[in-house]
Structure 1
């Protein structure tokens, strides 16, 4: 198997595993703290409008729905997890996949919070780092916790995958 194929395979497995851990955290957050996770349909709605030339919204929730946005949102959510896993593997190499360590997973995983804080949330109409929401600090902590769970998921998924391969 060529190196690019290996990176792709590892990225898919580790990215899906890490995203599953993030979703498990969202489920726990919803059940225990009564705090719903992000509705990924809104991500697909934003991307659907983006493809039509509209990047920013006053309120993404007020924007017209996009056909199939719930399913597309979940697909995009997992695809993003795969892309971030590929980024980690690209920076730290296949050796990291064989012998995963927590540091690189934390750097990439927690670093992913930059995307919602500085790209998605402003484009959704809720400001940089959600500063236009009623409780921005709580939302920032929730985002940081979600992305930290993704970081831990990267590490756990890579360890599980290393044991299997």
Structure 2
């Protein structure tokens, strides 16, 4: 049963991250809103291995070999870890009867990662405070993470429609 929970958590996390990426693609295509270049995430992670966590401007930091793949892989891994954390908090039975509130709360809480960790480390300041439009960036981050939470719910609901297993046996 533990392996089934892990597999379903992976499915939900990967699927919700895909929903987030489709949202970013739609925003860019229809509204011209740029999205995060995950190569920069890989660059940041690559520099961490050399002991550098903070940058004045991550875009000006030296390129790291394989940064795009590293960044995208980490992006999807984080989605899986967030889904797993939610299941630890609410219990694996959520996978049998998904509800929207825990998923949206996860999305709301997960916005702390870019605002409090990544943006300062990338040189953007705490909650994008060094950018010319910090509230716009904050709002976009919040909306994107709520879309991730909605993705958690939608993929969880879809996964719950799969044939009954020992996890969801009545």
- Please classify the TM superposition score into its range, dividing by the shorter chain length: over 0.9
Deviations along 1:32-66, whole A, 9 cap, x unmatched?
Answer: 11011100111110011011100100000010011
By how many angstroms is 1:19 displaced? 0.3
Task: Give TM-score scaled by structure 2 length.
Answer: 0.93
Whichever of the two has the greater Rg, that structure is: 2
| Aligned residue among 101, 108, 111 for 1:110 | 108
- What is the CA–CA distance in structure 2 between the aligned matches of 1:149 and 1:106, rounded to whole Å? 8
- What is the CA–CA distance in structure 1 between the aligned matches of 2:161 and 2:102, rounded to whole Å? 18
What does 1:88-103 correspond to in 2, within 5 Å?
88-103=86-101
- What is the CA–CA distance in structure 1 between the aligned matches of 2:150 and 2:45, rounded to whole Å? 27
Does structure 2 conserve the Cα–Cα contact (< 8 Å) formed by 1:84 and 1:108?
Answer: yes
- What is the CA–CA distance in structure 2 between the aligned matches of 1:145 and 1:109, rounded to whole Å? 9
Partner of 2:41: 43
Partner of 1:25: 23
By how many angstroms is 1:7 displaced? 2.6
Partner of 1:140: 138
Task: Give TM-score scaled by structure 1 length.
Answer: 0.96
Does residue 152 in structure 1 map to residue 113 in structure 2? no
Deviations along 1:48-89, whole A, 9 cap, x unmatched?
Answer: 101110010000001001101111111111000000000011
Stretches of structure 2 that go unaligned for 5 or more consecutive residues are 164-170
